[in-house]
Structure 1
Amino acid sequence: MDWLFIQLATAFATVLSAIASIAIEKRLGILCVDVHKPSKPKIPCNGGFAIFIGLVTGFSLLLYSGYVDAKHFEAFTLSIIASFVIGFVDDLVDLKSRWKIILGFVSAAPVLLLGVYTPRPWIPLVGYIRISNLYPLLLLVAFTVYQNGANMIDTHNGTLPIFVLFTHLFAFLLKLLTESSIDSCLPLLTVIVVVLAYSIFNVYPAKIFNGNTGAFILGVTIPLMIAYYRLELYYIMASIPMFINGFYYIASVKGFLQKESVKRPTFVDEAGCIHSSKDSLAPITLVRLVTGFSRSGLSEKELVTTLYTVFMLSSLISLFLVMALGYR
Structure 2
Amino acid sequence: MELRQLEYFEAVQRNKNFTHAAAELHVTQPTVTTAIKNLEKELGVSLFDREGGGMELTPAGEELLIRTQIILKNVKKIYDRVGEENSYRKQEVTIGIPPISCARMYPLVMGNFAHSHPNIDVQVQDCCNHINITRILQDDLEIGFIILPDVPNPGLEFLPLEKGNLMVLLSEDHPLAKKEAISFQDLAHEDILMYEKGTSYVEVRLEREFAARNITWNIQHYFSNFSTIYDLVSQNFGISFTMPTTSPILSELPGLVTVPFEEPMEYEIGLAWGKNKYLSSGCRELIRFICSYYEKNYEEKPASVIRAPKG
Check whether TM > 0.5: no
1 or 2, which has the higher helix percentage? 1
Indicate the structure with greater strand content: 2
Whose radius of gyration is greater, 1 or 2? Answer: 2
TM-score (normalised: structure 2): 0.20
TM-score (norm 1): 0.20
Higher relative contact order (CA 8 A, sep 6+): 1
